[in-house]
Structure 1
Amino acid sequence: MGVVTEPQPSRRRATVHDVAREAGVSRGTVSRVLNGGYVSEQARAAIEAAIRTVGYVPNTAARNLVMQRSRAVGFIVHEPHALFLEDPNIGAIMLGANTVLSDADLQMVCLVTDSARDTERVTRYLSGGFVDGVIIVSARAADPITDAVVRLGVPAAFVGHPQTTVPLPWVGIDNFTAARDITRQLAKTGRKRVGMVAAALDRDSGADRLAGFKEALGDTFDPDLVVEIPLYEYTAGLRATQELLERAPDVDGIFAASDAVAAGVLTALRRSGRTVPDDVGVVGFDDSSWAERCFPPLSTVHQPAAGVGERAAQLVVAQLAGQDVPRDGVLLDSPIVWRDSA
Structure 2
Amino acid sequence: MSPRGGARATVHDVAAHAGVSRGTVSRVLNGAGYVSAEARARIEAAIAEVGYVRNNAARNLVMRKTWAIGFVVHEPHQLFLEDPNIGAILLGTNAVVAEADHQLVVLVVDSDDDAARVSSYLRGGFVDGAVLVSARSHDKVADAVEQIKLPAAFIGHPEGRPSIPYVGIDNRSAARHLTSRLLGTGRRRIGMLASALDRDSGADRLAGFTDALGSRFDERLVVSAPLYSYRAGVDTMTELLRREPDIDGVFAASDAVAAGAIEALRTAGRKVPDDVGIVGFDDSAWALRCNPPLTTVHQPAADMGRAAATLVLDQLAGRTPSSVTLPTDVVWRESA
With the length of structure 1 as denominator, give the TM-score of the two structures: 0.93
Contact kept in structure 1, 2:146 and 2:163, CA below 8 Å: no
Give the corresponding residue for 2:214: 218
What are the residue-to-residue correspondences of 1:166-245 with 2, within 5 Å? 166-245=162-241
Give 1:80's aligned amino acid. Answer: P
Q: CA deviation at 1:52?
A: 4.3
Alignment of 1:38 with 2:14, yes or no, is no
Give the corresponding residue for 2:12: 17
Q: CA deviation at 1:50?
A: 3.9
Look up the SS of the partner of 2:121 in the other structure.
Answer: helix
Identify which of 115, 122, 132 aligns with 2:118: 122
Give the corresponding residue for 1:3: none
How many aligned positions are there? 332
Q: CA deviation at 1:37?
A: 2.5
Distance 2:112 2:333 in 1: 40
Identify which of 124, 137, 150 aligns with 1:154: 150
With the length of structure 2 as denominator, give the TM-score of the two structures: 0.94
Tell me whether 24-33 or 263-272 shows the greater mean CA deviation. 24-33
Give 2:32's aligned amino acid. Answer: G
Contact kept in structure 2, 1:162 and 1:168, CA below 8 Å: no
The 3 A distance-change label for structure 1 pair 40 and 141 is closer
Give the corresponding residue for 1:26: 21
Q: CA deviation at 1:20?
A: 2.5
Look up the SS of the partner of 1:70 in the other structure.
Answer: coil
Structure 1 residue runs of 5 or longer lacking an equivalent are 1-8
Alignment of 1:332 with 2:326, yes or no, is yes
Give the corresponding residue for 2:316: 320
Distance 1:96 1:165 in 2: 23
Identify which of 90, 93, 107 aligns with 2:89: 93
Distance 1:211 1:23 in 2: 68
Q: What is the CA deviation profile of residues 222-251 of structure 1, one whole-angstrom value per residue up to 9, with x for unaligned ones?
A: 111100110001111111111111111121
Q: CA deviation at 1:10?
A: 5.5
Give 1:182's aligned amino acid. Answer: L
Distance 1:272 1:70 in 2: 55
Structure 2 residue runs of 5 or longer lacking an equivalent are none
* Identity, % of aligned positions: 63
Q: What is the CA deviation profile of residues 57-91 of structure 1, one whole-angstrom value per residue up to 9, with x for unaligned ones?
A: 32222211221211111111100011111111111
Give the corresponding residue for 1:6: none
Q: CA deviation at 1:300?
A: 0.4
Contact kept in structure 2, 1:88 and 1:289, CA below 8 Å: yes
Give 1:71's aligned amino acid. Answer: W
Distance 1:137 1:236 in 2: 20
Look up the SS of the partner of 1:69 in the other structure.
Answer: coil
Give the corresponding residue for 2:78: 82
Look up the SS of the partner of 2:319 in the other structure.
Answer: coil
Identify which of 273, 289, 295 aligns with 1:277: 273
Distance 2:5 2:185 in 1: 74
The 3 A distance-change label for structure 1 pair 112 and 40 is closer
Q: CA deviation at 1:53?
A: 4.4
Q: CA deviation at 1:159?
A: 0.5
Q: What is the CA deviation profile of residues 203-224 of structure 1, one whole-angstrom value per residue up to 9, with x for unaligned ones?
A: 0000000000000111111111
The CA RMSD over aligned residues, in Å, is 1.6
Distance 2:92 2:5 in 1: 40
Distance 1:192 1:215 in 2: 16
Q: What is the CA deviation profile of residues 32-59 of structure 1, one whole-angstrom value per residue up to 9, with x for unaligned ones?
A: 3322222352654554454344343322
Give 2:332's aligned amino acid. Answer: W
After the TM superposition, which parts of structure 1 deviate over 4 Å for at least 4 consecutive aligned residues?
42-46
Distance 1:144 1:40 in 2: 48
Distance 1:140 1:105 in 2: 30
